[in-house]
Structure 1
Amino acid sequence: MKVRKAAVSLAAIGLISVGAHAQEAGTLKKIKDTGVISLGYRESSIPFSYYDEHQNVIGYSQAFMAKAVEAIKQKLNMPNLGIRLIPVTPQNRIPLVQNGTVDLECGSTTNNAEREQQVAFSTSIFVIGTRLMTKKDSGIKGWSDLKGKTVSTTAGTTSERLLRKMNQDKSMGMNIVSAKDHAEAFAALANGRASAFMMDDALLAGERAKATNQSEFVIIGTPQSEEAYGCMMRKNDPEFKKVVDGAITKMELSGEADRIYQTWFQSPIPPKGLNLNFPESDEVKALFKSPNDKAID
C-alpha cells in the first residue's frame, strides 16, 4: 500500500467527531456512510510500516493491511473506497483506535491481555522475541552485563515495561532512555549515548539494516518475552473483525504470507536496498500453518 504522507494532514481535519458514530453503528456502517476508511500506520517501524524515499508508506504490515482493505471494499461493494492514512505512535495508537479516529491499525503492535481489554486484535501477523542490540566491541554478552549501563528502548512499548521491571526486580542500576521511536532509540546506541538497545528482534534487525556500519552491531540475549503482532480495531465489532481476520487468515494458509515475509525480511528493501537477513522463525511458521488471534503474555 503506497499512499503519500502529505495526504494525511489534509485529511485529518474533523476525525475525532466520528468516534461515537463508529461505536454506535459499527465500523463497516461508518465506512459505508462516510466513503472512507481510516488506517493507522507507524512511520519508522522497519520493515513493518515506514516511509520509503518518496515518503510513501510501505512495509510488511502494510501488505496485510492492504489485503484487509481489499476485503472490506468487496464486502461493502465499494471499489473506490477512500483511504485516509493517519500516523500513530506507541503512545497514541490505542486511544486513536478507541475514539474512532483510526478504524484499523497495522504496524508493530503487540497483542497482550492488557491491551485486549482496550481494543480488539486481528489474526496475528507476526511473532517476535524481545532481545538486545549492542556493538560487537561493547563487552555485553547478555542481560546480566547491563548492570550500571545506559540502555535505550522505545517509549510506550512492552520492551520498555519489561526493561523497567528487570531494573527494579534485579536492582541492576540501569539508566533507561525511553526514545520517541525506534530510530531515536537506535541513534542513542549508534552514537554511544547508550550501551544497548532493547526491542523486538525483528525491529532491531530493521534498525541495524539502516546503518552504514551495520556489521558493527549484533543482536544478542535470550528473548525476555515472545509476542504476537496483530492489527488493532475497536472492541465489540465482530462483523468488521470477521472481514479483517478472513483476509489475513487466507494469506497465511495460502502461502502468500510466506512470500510477503521473503520480500521484507530476506530480500533487499527500500530505501537503500538492504537485506535484513532475518529468516522465518519456527514461531512464525507455526502461525502461518495455524492462524489465530491469541495474545501471548
Structure 2
Amino acid sequence: MKKNFCLLSLLFSVLLLVGCGRSVTDESALKTVRQSNTITWGVEGDKKLFSLIDVRDDQVKGFDIDMAKAVTREVLGPKGKVKFILATSQSRIPLLKNGNVDAVIATMTITAEREKIIDFSHSYFNAGKTLLVPNDSKIKNVHDLNGKTVIGILGDNSVDVVKRFAPKAKVIAMQDYGQAVSALKSHQGDALTSDNGVLYGLAAENPSLKVCGGTFTKEPYGIAVNKHQRGFEAAVNRAVIKIQRSGEYNRLIKKWFGQVPGFNYRRLYYK
C-alpha cells in the first residue's frame, strides 16, 4: 500500500512538472532574451550576400546578419545586443533544439517537414531554386538535368527538390558550398542547385560560373524558433512586419542585392 502511494505521488509530481514545464517553456525564450538583453542567433558563414565571414575583420556580414540586427533592435530596443554562432545546413536545427541559440536566420526555407519540429516567423525573403553551371554549359533549365549529375548541399532541401523535376538525374551532396563549387569546377557534377540568391552570390565570386534557367520552385525563408515559444515567435513576427513596412527592408535588399549582375532585386521589395 505504501509502495503504491509512493508511486502515485511520484507520478503526480511528474505530471505536475510536465504541466508546469510547458507553461514555463512557452515564456522562457522571450524572458531569457529580455533578461540578458541579447538574442543569440544561429547564422551561416559561407553564403555571400546573406552571411559570409569577412576575412579582413573576421566579422560575419550579409543580408541575414543585418536582418538579425534589425529584428533584435525591434524586440529588445536600440540597446539590444546580438551574438552570432556559426551554423551549417546540417547543424542549424540541432543548435536551436539544444538551446545553443535563441533563433536561426540562415537562408532556411519554411517547409511542412521542418514545421513539425520547429516554428518559423513570417517569410522575410522569397527565394527560389535555380541552377549554377559552367559558362560553356549547354544546360538551359532544370529539365535538362535528366541523365546529368547534380550537386546539392547536405541538410538543404535542394537535393530532394531536384529529384521531383529531374527524376533521372544523379544527385550528390556536399558538406558545404566551398566543396560544392570546387566539385562543379572540377567536373564532378554538371550543375549545382540551390536558392537563387545564394547562387548569384557564388557566381559573383566565380566568373567561370553562371546562373541559368530561372527559378523552378518557391522557397520562402523564415526565422526559426523553438516549438512552444509563442511569445518570442510573436515578437519576432512583429519585428519582421515592422521592418518591411518601415522601408528598412527595401533598403537592406538594395544594399545587398542591388549590384548583383542579372539578379532582379526589385521583385523582392516589400510593397
The answer for the alignment partner of 1:92 in structure 2 is 91
Q: The residue matched to 1:194 in structure 2 has which SS?
A: coil
Q: Does the 8 Å CA contact 2:27/2:231 hold for their aligned counterparts? A: no
Aligned equivalent of 1:235, options 187, 204, 227? 227
Written as runs of structure 1 = structure 2, the 5 A alignment for 1:2-41 is 23=25, 25-34=27-36, 36-41=38-43
Q: 1:279 aligns with which of 229, 239, 264?
A: 264
Q: Bigger CA drift: 86-95 or 58-67?
A: 86-95
User: How far has the Cα of 1:36 moved from its partner?
Assistant: 4.2
Corresponding residue for 1:209? 204
Aligned amino acid, residue 191 of structure 2: A
**Where does 1:161-176 land on structure 2 (aligned, <5 Å)?**
161-166=160-165, 170=167, 172=168, 174-176=169-171
> What is the aligned partner in structure 2 of residue 47 from structure 1?
49
Residue by residue over 1:171-218, the C-alpha shift from the partner in whole angstroms, topping out at 9 and shown as x without a partner, is x1x33221112232122112322211111111110111112xx1x323
Gaps of 5+ in 2: 1-21
2:188 and 2:243 mapped to 1: Cα distance? 42
Query: What is the Cα-based RMSD across aligned positions, in Å?
Result: 2.4
3-state secondary structure, aligned to 1:152 = strand
Task: Work out whether residues 26 and 230 of structure 2, in 8 Å CA contact, stay in contact via their aligned partners in 1.
Answer: no
Counterpart of 1:258 in structure 2 is 250
Query: Which segments of 5 or more consecutive residues in structure 1 lack a partner in the other structure?
Result: 1-19, 268-274, 290-297
Residue by residue over 1:135-179, the C-alpha shift from the partner in whole angstroms, topping out at 9 and shown as x without a partner, is 232221223332332211111111111124445xx3x1x332211
1:151–1:196: 8 Å Cα contact kept in structure 2?
yes
Q: Which has the larger radius of gyration?
A: 2
Verify: 1:179 aligned to 2:178, yes or no: no
Q: CA deviation at 1:37?
A: 2.9
Counterpart of 1:103? 102
Between the aligned partners of 1:191 and 1:251, the Cα distance in structure 2 is 42
| Farther off after superposition, 187-196 or 105-114 | 187-196
Q: Matches of residues 216-231 of structure 1 in structure 2 within 5 Å?
A: 216-231=208-223
Distance 1:245 1:156, change over 3 A: same
TM-score of the superposition, structure 1-length normalised? 0.76
Matched, 1:69 2:69: no
Q: Name the amino acid aligned to 2:209.
A: F
Q: Distance in 2 between matches of 1:197 and 1:83?
A: 33
Distance in 2, matches of 1:184 and 1:139, equals 23
Name the count of aligned residue pairs.
250
Contact 1:152 1:185 in 2 (8 A): yes
Q: Is the 8 A contact 1:49 1:60 kept in 2?
A: yes
SS at match of 1:110: coil
Aligned to 1:4: none
Identity of aligned residues (%): 28
One-letter code aligned to 1:260: L
